Amino acid sequence: MNDVRPTLRKARTGIPGLDEITLGGLPAGRPTLVCGGPGSGKTLIGISFLVNGAVLFDEPGVLMSFEENAQELAQDVASLGFDLAGLIEKKRLVVDYVHIDRSEIAETGEYDLEGLFVRIEHAVKTVGAKRVLLDTIDSLFAGLPNETILRAELRRLFRWLRDRNLTVVITGEMGETTLTRHGLEEYVTDAVIQLDHRVLNQISTRRLRVVKYRGSYHGTNEYPFLVDEDGVSVLPLTSLALQHEAPAERVSSGLERLDEMLGAQGYYRGSTVLVSGTAGTGKTTLAAHFADAACKRGERCLYFLTEESPQQMLRNMRSAGLDLKRWVDGGQLQFHADRPSRYGLETHLVMMHRAVEQIRPDVVVFDPMTNLLTIGTPMDVRAMLTRMIDFLKMRNVTAVFTGLTSAGSDLETTETMISSLMDVWVLTSLEEFERRRRRWMYVLKSRGMAHSDEMREFRITSGGIDILPPHTAEGGGR
Amino acid sequence: MADEVFDLRLYVAGQTPNAVRAFANLRKICDEHLAGRYRIEVIDLLEDPQLGRGDQILALPTLVRRLPEPIKKIIGDLSNTERVLVGLDLRPRQKGPHD
């Protein structure tokens, strides 16, 4: 295809997720407005853009801070791992604290804001800056008596910044009926990002939305973002296209006989597996076999636990003959244990993303996935899992999710929403027969392969799961 | 206060019309009200841009009264003599008709 549209040059923010939503970053050489209420994270996003520019992209920056002085700023961002003082010393960053106190200023006659221009220009020249953050320009409205002059000068300032090809982030306070309290969106027409911080069901979620991005496609959803000791990261909720690869490579389920049921070769690499069943059917043990096999192959496994502690899980698996501790000690198996109720769904999603990005596993287990239903509606959980699965598939990570089916509930209705996302669905069940509980498993579906349609009996022994051969299962012979 | 020396700084950026007017207005006011006890330093930020930070200069022209303390700032071309005198504490604030 011939694409003749001129491509807009973009400046990467280095904020995970934000560059994906904006398809490459903020418009280079132009101003972007970041607006939101108090505490919504405007300054943090702006500073991340500056610091990442200086550290990652060889684009030094200038911070014109209208609200906080250099010491206050350095303290605020030190918890995010940013070393402003170090960057200033290395001449990668200039912080100029702009303070105006209306009470000590008298006004008589005509003036302009050339002093601000001179200061910005001086700072830009000092470090050869390519990026500028103006945080928060609203303070000027409180500090200067003549709004007419101020508005004319702001208009001139943004033209001036564009003429110098500076990539600029301007932060602005949210307005009641307008995007910003002082209508800054009037001056910044290239890109506008809106931040929101709300608390629902006592769980706080930060969200980000690209309201406008002239000349570029961008994701239009509200995207949750997270601020923690690793900085800011935004979570693209839905990938923009289903474009992950579908590798033909196979990985073992960890059980030879289950592999046999799956076209004799196990799961496809990068596929998503649901193992569901009522309590005590052996779902975790099945997942643990999968993790164990991955580690044996020399792969890395990330194991999310939403109910048990890692210690408890390791002990239980040891009694089933699976020594997972050696993989933990060797660093191949890492646990990530959190109660779902600690955070909102989206925060969980962001944290899972981050764990996957840091640990870079080959396989992931989420046990049990159904616990997420305690903090969101099935629709929300499904939406979240869709994003998680997309993300894992993009990275070619094979994932096993366990799902607890509550006894008596209709399996089809409770799990249909989620199972349709899965490539493979393995069902486990218990059946009482002659005063003994017998375990069964069968492959309900497995996309893209001929799979067994048999119900197979299995036992959990001190040597792990033992799937009985079809002919010897009681009552199962042909 | 009558014998105190006024240490004044006028910040400008080049010879703009506002700057020229502000300097002329300032000289006139000083000669009339502070004869023999004032000092004016004109700082052109185009030549010394780093000086804008110290006195927190945004608007130009800005007149800064450095001495006597406290520091006072007056922005604009100083065309309103009354307000300049009030701003420099050379004249008490005008009383309203009902005071």
Domains of chain B: 6-87 (3.40.30.10)
Residue B73's pLDDT is 93
Q: What gap in Å lies between CA A262 and CA A464, rounded to an integer?
A: 19
Position of tokens 């979620």? A205
Q: Do A98 and B71 touch (CB under 8 A)?
A: no
Nearest CA in chain B to A64: B53
Q: What is the pLDDT of residues A405-438, one digit of tens each?
A: 876 555 545 566 777 888 999 999 888 878 888 9
Residue B93's pLDDT is 62
Q: Which of residues 17-56 of B touch A (CB under 8 A)?
A: 18, 21-22, 25, 45-46, 49-50, 52-53, 56
Inform me whether the pLDDT recorded for B96 exceeds 60.
Answer: no
A10-234 shares its CATH topology with A250-467 = yes
- Best residue of A62, A103, A118, A134 to probe chain B, by most B CBs closer than 10 Å: A118
Low-confidence spans in chain A with pLDDT less than 50: 1-2, 240, 412, 473, 475-478
Q: Do B58 and A115 touch (CB under 8 A)?
A: yes
User: Rg of chain A over CA atoms, in angstroms?
Assistant: 28
Q: What is the pLDDT of residues A208-239, one digit of tens each?
A: 999 999 888 887 778 888 887 778 888 765 55
Does the structural domain A250-467 have CATH classification 3.40.50.300?
yes
CA torsion sign, A77 to A83 to A87 to A88? Answer: positive
Are A238 and A363 in contact, with CB atoms under 8 Å apart? no
In eight-state DSSP terms, residue B72 is E
Residue B1's pLDDT is 53
Q: What gap in Å lies between CA B91 and CA B70, rounded to an integer?
A: 16
Amino acid at A262: L
Q: Do B13 and A118 touch (CB under 8 A)?
A: yes
Q: How many CB atoms lie within 10 A of CB B17?
A: 9
* Sequence-ordered list of residues with C-beta below 8 angstroms from that of A460, at least 6 positions apart, any chain: A282, A285, A320, A439, A466
**Where residue B44 falls among pLDDT bands split at 50, 70, 90?**
very high
**Where residue B2 falls among pLDDT bands split at 50, 70, 90?**
low
- Best residue of B58, B62, B80 to probe chain A, by most A CBs closer than 10 Å: B58
- Regarding pTM above 0.90, the answer is no
Q: What is the pLDDT of residues A98-127, one digit of tens each?
A: 988 888 888 898 999 999 999 999 999 999
Q: Do A115 and B46 touch (CB under 8 A)?
A: no
- Best residue of A67, A114, A153 to probe chain B, by most B CBs closer than 10 Å: A114
**Where residue B43 falls among pLDDT bands split at 50, 70, 90?**
very high
Q: What gap in Å lies between CA B88 and CA B86, rounded to an integer?
A: 5
Supply the ipTM of this predicted assembly.
0.90
Residue A204's pLDDT is 67
Position of tokens 């008490």? B92
Residue A80 forms contact with B (CB below 8 Å): no
Q: How many CB atoms lie within 10 A of CB A474?
A: 11
Residue A408's pLDDT is 58
**Mean confidence (pLDDT) of chain A:** 86
For chain A, the structural domain boundaries read 10-234, 250-467
Phi, psi of A194 (to 5 degrees): -110, 135
Of B50, B73, B76, which has the smallest distance from its Cβ to A109's Cβ? B76
Amino acid at A183: G
Q: Do A111 and B49 touch (CB under 8 A)?
A: no
Residue A472's pLDDT is 53
Count of A–B CB contacts within 8 Å? 99
Second-level CATH architecture of A10-234: 3-Layer(aba) Sandwich (3.40)
Phi, psi of B68 (to 5 degrees): -70, 155
Residue A471's pLDDT is 62
Residue A1's pLDDT is 46
Inform me whether the pLDDT recorded for B51 exceeds 80.
Answer: yes
